[in-house]
A and B are shown apart, each in its own frame.
Chain A
Amino acid sequence: MKNRLRELRGEQGWSQQALADRLDVSRQTVNALETGKYDPSLPLAFRIGRLFCLPIEAIFDDEVED
C-alpha cells in the first residue's frame, strides 16, 4: 500500500525517530511504513491520521498499480 508518510513527516521536519515517538512505535516500524513494506493496523492508521490532522484515505492509497 502506498502512502504519504515520508512526505508528511518531511513537512513537519521530524526525523523517523521523532515520528515513532509520537506514534508510540519503533523507528523500524516507521521506516517499514514509509517504504511500503508494512501496512499498519487500523488503530495505528487512525493515530497517524489524527497526528497529521488528515483522514486516513488522504494518507494511504489502497489502489493497486497496473
Chain B
Amino acid sequence: MTAQARQNASLKRYTWRTLALMLVYTGLLVAIDKTIDPSRNGWPAVQAWPLVLLTCLPLILYGWEVIRYVRSVDEMLARFQIRAAAVAMLAMLLAAAVFGVAEIYGVMEPLNMTMMLPIAAVAHSVAAMVQQVRAR
C-alpha cells in the first residue's frame, strides 16, 4: 500500500470515528443534563465523578484517534497536524478565558462548555487547511 493510499484510509477512519465520538460525547452531555441532572437532584459531588469520567471517555478515545492518525501520515503532514492542534488548543484556551470572564462579570449567560469543542475543531481545520494550501 502506498503512503497516499495509507493516508487516505487513515483519514477516512479518523473522520468517521471523530464524528461518532463527538456524537457520543454530545449525547452523553445531553443525557446527563436532561435526565439525571446531578446538581439539581442533590447528588453529592463524589457521586458525580463517575459521570465526569464517563463523559471524558469519548474525549480520551478521540485523543487516541488523533495520535493514530498523526502516526500514520508522513512527517510533513504530521507536522501540519501538530501545528494545527497547537492552534486549536490556543483557540480553546482563549474561548475558555472569554467564556469564563464573561460569566464572572455577568456579561453573558453561562455558556455551555461544549461550545469549546466546535471552536477547537474549526480552528484545527482552518489551520490544517491553510498549511496544506501553503505547501501546495
Check if A20 is an interface residue, CB within 8 A of chain B: yes
CB proximity to A under 8 Å, residues B21-62? none
B87 to chain A, nearest CB (A): 18
| A40→B75 contact, CB < 8 A | yes
Quick one: which of A26, A37, A38, A40 has the most chain B CB within 10 A? A26
Across-interface contacts of B134 in A (CB, < 8 A): 37
Q: Nearest CB to that of A27 among chain B residues?
A: B4
Please measure, in the bound complex, the distance between the C-alpha atom of A32 and the C-alpha atom of B135, giving whole angstroms.
5
B96 contacts A by Cβ under 8 Å: no
CB distance B76 to A28 under 8 Å? Answer: yes
Q: Report the interface size class on chain B.
A: 10 to 19
Instruction: Tell me if B's interface is mostly helix, strand, loop or mixed.
Output: helix
B103-133 CB mask vs A (1 if < 8 Å, else 0) is 0000000000000000000000000000010
Whether the pair A26, B3 counts as a contact (CB closer than 8 A) is yes
Q: Does residue A29 face the partner (Cβ distance < 8 Å to B)?
A: yes
Do the beta carbons of B4 and A17 come within 8 Å of each other?
A: yes
Interface of A is mostly: helix
Assembled-state Cα–Cα distance A58/B4 (Å): 28
Contacts of B7 in A (CB 8 A): 26
Interchain CB contact under 8 A, A20 and B3: yes
How distant is the Cα of A57 from the Cα of B132 in the complex, in angstroms? Answer: 28
Cα distance A29–B134 in the bound complex, in angstroms: 12
With CB as the reference atom, state the residue of chain B lying closest to A24. Answer: B3
Closest to A39 in B: B76
Contact B135 A38 (CB under 8 A): yes
Whether A26 touches B73, Cβ cut-off 8 Å, given contacts A17-B4, A20-B3, is: yes
Q: Does A25 have its Cβ within 8 Å of any Cβ on chain B?
A: yes
Residues of chain A lying within 8 A (CB to CB) of residue B4 = 17, 20-21, 26-27
Known A-B contacts: A24-B2, A25-B74. Give 7 more (CB < 8 A). A20-B4, A21-B4, A23-B3, A24-B74, A28-B76, A31-B135, A40-B75
